[in-house]
Structure 1
Amino acid sequence: MPLQWFLKYRPKSLNEVENEDEAKKELTEWIESWLKGNPSYKAVLLYGPPGVGKTTLAEALARDYKLELFEMNASDSRNLNDIRSMAERASVTGTLFGIKGKLILLDEVDGLNARADAGAIDAIIELINKTKYPIILTANDPWDPSLRPLRNAAKMIELKRLTKYPLKRILKKICEAEKIVCEDEALDFIIDQSEGDARYAINMLQGVAEGYGRVTIDMAKNLVRKKDRELDPFEALRSVFWAKYYWQAKSAVTDTQIDYELLLRWLDENIPLQYTDMEDVWRAYDALSRASIFLNRAKLVGWDLLSYTFDLMGPGVAFASFEKKKPTYKAKWVKYQFPQYIQQLAKTKETRDALDSLLRKIGVIIHASKDKTLNDFLPLFVIYYKKFHDKLDKELELTEKEKDVIKMLSSLYEGITEQPKEEERKETTERKRSTYYRRKKS
């Protein structure tokens, strides 16, 4: 079986990598800081859509700096022990053949599932903290909330989709090397269909060329199909806010695999950044709130109502701006932000887990559900705990985190139930009376 062209013509050096000058510069500075012994980050996270050359860039870096490459696919090793045993061996043992250093590549870390692959992300963080060698992680979509620890532990470097001219240079070089006659129009068509994915474009070129010995525009139109791809959160937002037609905005919210509620959070966070006119902001939030209502109704009544959610959070948000009706309208470029709500959930995860654990322990004793324990019994338990904490600590086997939650709740309940002093009550009453008489006179 002939070697696939995207492997055969994969760049061997960073200089051969097209269209990623900024990423190459950041990556070079990072690896040189490692070689000097003072890296600011022990790992980098290369991220970008499929086919932009994340793995290729890592391999080219290893060749340029004569580093032994230890490569493993993180999503194929799905538990803490697998990742720890394989990667730790690479991180602490010496190199082969007298090579001066080693580069560890963990591919597709976004393929890890927070539940199914429990402990894997913790193992990677542990590996980063202990490693004696530089580590490169790769991901198509690094914005999943479960990957937040990796985003914090590594230097993030974005790889962008290949634009038309760099991709055309790559395809032309392959045609010349393979002595294939290829029409310029055919190359343009393949590039348009590839959506910036170099691997897809090269595979399509090889498929037509090996079948017919040449590539014409007619052959390309008959054989090459548009690449199906999913939009990442930033692409989805840009496609919504920049949409000029109804169908474009709706496609933007349906062509992404982002959870519907998470996409609502992304839009919620970035509407005030994209729209500066307060009436536009109001209309966008009005559409978004209605989208949220229909999403909840769809869950309760039937998924047929989901189309209304798409209509409101896509076109509804996109055309909240009346500026789009003007012929001179130009979309404003905005640097979008990750939802703070998700960040806050990540920061408070340990506290929330401790509260859930505490509620379960109390619920077992009083034979009540978690919700009933939280709403009806927890305030009484906190008051009771002040007097009998030694007994309750032993009986419920409370952890330090659970005790911290009780202390936090105790201070919270005290602030809510604390009665105002007599002087404060009198002052408040007098203020209300004077306000009442002023309004009556006016």
Structure 2
Amino acid sequence: MFGSSKSTPYELPWVEKYRPTILKDIVGNNETIQRLQIIANDGNMPNIIISGSPGIGKTTSILCLAHELLGSSYKEKVKLKYKSFNSGSKVTLPPGRTKIVILDEADSMTSGAQQALRRTMEIFSHTTRFALACNISSKIIEPIQSRCAILRYNRLSDLELLKRLKEICEFEKVEYTSEGLEALIFTSEGDMRQAVNNLQSTYSGFKLISPNNVFKVCDQPHPVMVKEILDSCLNANVQKACDLMENLFGQGYSSIDIISTLFKVVKSFDMMEYQKLEYIRIIGNSHLKILEGCESLVQLCGLICRLCAISIDPKQLNL
């Protein structure tokens, strides 16, 4: 199974405690994991780039691959300058295996650093393989991309997140409700790391995984409150929708958290398809304005008015 549930002198973050150590225990992206399993079985590892959103298993996959390739020679979190690691370090490896250099957040490297890495990959191509994890593969320069097999990871599905959260709850004897787990999935948006961290934080603070507790810990507006605003907008009740928005804003939630939750709720809201698409467009435009610094209540109430306008019958305007 994944991780270890043995007690330690200090409490490990659950995201580390239950991090998979072999490829078959990784959740999601099954086809890509199968390709990595073939590499592990054959022992012939190419340079690889794994790209995708945060918290979906990119770094964990590389660590698991290294663990299966190197066996007892695997040493995690050894921090060395990679050039000296390649040229001078003496490492005992299984027959036919090469050194593995893991670079996390590789798309944050400057162009100059990537050019230096490209040259290093050329010089030590006979003794070392490079594994790069990044969010956006297009930020990696073409000369490095052409030397690597590129694997792309997708966000994890709700069912995949739910399965792992239930497993951790069983190991840690966590009391939960099904609605509480749904709240964790809602706030994580396919990010396993965030889901597990929120699970541990909620348990540490309240000992019960319920929707209210989860949203308190995550400091996000409750979707039920946001749904009431959307219902008022669909009924073209501008005053009620603005009052609800003002109440939500007055509770201390930031404009970015409010509009992010609004967007997530709209995607699964029961409404006509053309209305949903128009709502998404309007919310997206307001989201852009908020990111530019217009975070006032006026901006949010203006959004409400634009959403309500979609449901207003023009004949009632007496124009």
Match of 2:51 in 1: 47
- Rounded Cα–Cα distance in structure 1 between residues aligned with 2:276 and 2:151: 31
Determine which of 116, 121, 127 is the counterpart of 1:123.
116
Hey, what does 1:370 align to over in structure 2? none
Matched, 1:194 2:193: no
The correspondence for 1:63, drawn from 55, 60, 67, is 67
> What count of residue pairs does the alignment treat as equivalent?
227
Give 1 or 2: higher helix fraction.
1
2: distance between equivalents of 1:104 and 1:50? Answer: 20
Decide which of 135, 157, 163 is 1:163's aligned counterpart. 157
Q: Give yes or no for the alignment of 1:209 onto 2:203.
A: yes
Partner of 1:25: 34
Name the CA shift for 1:60/1:254 in 2 (closer, same or farther; >3 Å): farther
| 1:46 partner letter | I
Match of residue 84 from structure 2: 85
Is the 8 Å Cα contact of residues 40 and 68 (structure 2) preserved in structure 1? no
The amino acid of 1:109's aligned partner reads A
Partner residue of 1:133 out of 128, 134, 138: 128
Distance in 2 of aligned mates of 1:163 and 1:198: 10
In structure 2, relative to structure 1, the CA distance for the partners of 1:57 and 1:203 (3 Å cut) is same
Gaps of 5+ in 1: 230-241, 257-302, 305-442
Match of 1:239 in 2: none
Q: How far off is 1:23 after superposition? A: 1.1
Indicate if the aligned counterparts of 1:66 and 1:99 stay in contact, CA closer than 8 A. Answer: yes
CA-CA distance at 1:207 after TM superposition? 0.4
Paired with 1:112 and 1:180, the residues of 2 have a C-alpha distance of 40
| Amino acid paired to 1:26 | R
Two-structure CA RMSD over aligned residues (Å)? 3.4
Match in the other structure for 1:218: 212
Cα distance in 2, alignment partners of residues 182 and 95 from structure 1:
47
Partner of 1:65, secondary structure, is: helix
Higher mean displacement: 201-210 or 218-227: 218-227
Residues 336-388 of structure 1 deviation map (CA, whole Å, 9 limit, x = unaligned): xxxxxxxxxxxxxxxxxxxxxxxxxxxxxxxxxxxxxxxxxxxxxxxxxxxxx
CA–CA distance in structure 2, aligned partners of residues 218 and 250 of structure 1? 29
Judged with a 3 Å threshold, the aligned counterparts in structure 2 of structure 1 residues 212 and 253 are, in CA distance, closer, same or farther, namely same
Percent identical pairs in the alignment equals 24
CA spacing shift, 1:159–1:175, aligned 2, 3 Å: same
**Structure 2 length-normalised TM:** 0.61
CA contact (8 A) 1:72 1:107 kept: no
Aligned-pair CA distance for 1:2: 1.8
SS of the residue aligned with 1:245? helix
1:108 to 105, 108, 123: 105
**How much does 1:12 deviate?**
1.4
Please give the per-residue CA displacement for 1:311-357, whole angstroms capped at 9, x wherever unaligned.
xxxxxxxxxxxxxxxxxxxxxxxxxxxxxxxxxxxxxxxxxxxxxxx
Quote the residue 1:324 is aligned against.
none
1:175 aligns with 2:184: no
Extract unaligned runs of 5+ from structure 2: 1-9, 222-255, 258-273, 294-319
Q: How far apart in 1 are the matches of 2:165 and 2:152?
A: 23
**d(CA) in 2 for partners of 1:45, 1:176:** 34
What are the within-5 Å matches in structure 2 for residues 245-260 of structure 1?
Answer: 245-249=277-281
8 A contact 2:49–2:132 mirrored in 1 = yes
In the other structure, the counterpart of 2:249 is none
Q: Which has the higher contact order (CA 8 A, sep 6+)?
A: 2
1:219-247 deviation per Cα after TM superposition (whole angstroms, max 9, x unaligned): 12332345989xxxxxxxxxxxx995345
Matched, 1:142 2:137: yes
* Cα 1:27–1:213 shift into 2, 3 Å: same
* Structure 2 match to 1:357: none
Q: Is the 8 A contact 2:82 2:101 kept in 1?
A: no
Query: Using the alignment, how far apart are the partners of 1:185 and 1:194 within structure 2?
Result: 14
Instruction: Look up the SS of the partner of 2:132 in the other structure.
Output: strand
Counterparts of 1:105 and 1:243, CA distance in 2:
46
Aligned equivalents of 2:157, 2:285: Cα separation in 1: 24
